[in-house]
Amino acid sequence: MRRGIFQPATLWWLACALLAVVFLPYLPWMTPDLSSRPEYQVDWTSVAVTPAPRGVPDRVVEEVRTHAQLPEHLSLLQPGLAKKLAQAFEAHPWIERVNRVEVKRQRRIEVDLTYRRVALVVETSRGFYPVDAASVLLPPTDFAPEDVHRLPVCRNVKTLPQGAAGEKWGDTVVECAARIADSIAPAGDIDRNWKRLGFAAILAPVPKVADPLPEDLSFDIATRGGSIIRWGRAPGADALEPSVDQKLERLGQLVQNQGSLDAPGGPFKIDIRYDVVSLQALDDARRVIVR
């Protein structure tokens, strides 16, 4: 056994192992630091992000850099750079999800983002607040008053946002209203249903309990001519109600038959929650059944 250990080849490998154990902890200090060299650094003009859709401010990237206190020049050799950038972008209220961060060899960084989109404007005692389809509050300072006219609006909400921009509103009423607005104007298409049918606002109910369930909340929709549509619950909250497509189809049929949801003889109270659509003039007790 001694002869095997003291063979030249064995002694050579043992010496290499000993040197590795002794000097490996000092290796980072013994090698040159290339992270600060210009050829391994990029500025933020080399950070390519997914183009922002309409309504999202074009200063998102600069706000991400400032809020995360990231340097003006990024080292491509920095350990965990992609993860650090992903965390910085995810913290911005306009970013719903970071799908991918890729550091390219061509001194370029690509960031694939999914942005949040305004689905609803909530009218409160302190003004208007935009939220997305999941009732996440979006920065009110990025929202102009004229935007109210191009987005679904919800009225009668009694609460205010319970968190900062990028966090959920914290009210089941707002959550359900946002789901209704997103189902009527999917992907922000307000012309196809909202404007075509003459909608003016979603009217929130007054909850009977402090923390209601979605199935406890039934919403109305006001038209521009003053009619009130008994819309019902948010999508998925009641399997017995007609689907969103069925409700919109019934209202579309009414518009086709009489020109609008308000005339002639309106405004009406219109109930579309059952198999038979009913119209009741708001100024008297007349009731018309439309099959």
pLDDT value, residue 8: 62
Cα(14)–Cα(19) distance, integer angstroms: 9
Which positions of the chain have pLDDT values less than 70?
1-40, 284-291
Nearest CA among 120, 132, 118, 123 for reference residue 55:
118
pLDDT value, residue 82: 94
Q: Based on the number of CB atoms within 10 Å of its own CB, is 16 exposed (0-12), middle (13-18) or buried (19 or more)?
A: exposed
Tens digit of pLDDT for each residue in 59-92?
999 999 999 999 999 988 888 999 999 999 999 9
Tens digit of pLDDT for each residue in 197-235?
999 999 999 999 989 999 999 999 999 999 999 999 999
pLDDT value, residue 291: 41
pTM of the shown model: 0.82
Cα(86)–Cα(95) distance, integer angstroms: 11
pLDDT value, residue 266: 81
Cα(155)–Cα(159) distance, integer angstroms: 11
What lies within 8 Å, CB to CB, of 41 at 6+ separation is 35, 73, 74, 75, 76
pLDDT value, residue 140: 93
Tell me the residue type at 227: S
Query: Which residue reads 């100024």 in tokens?
Result: 283
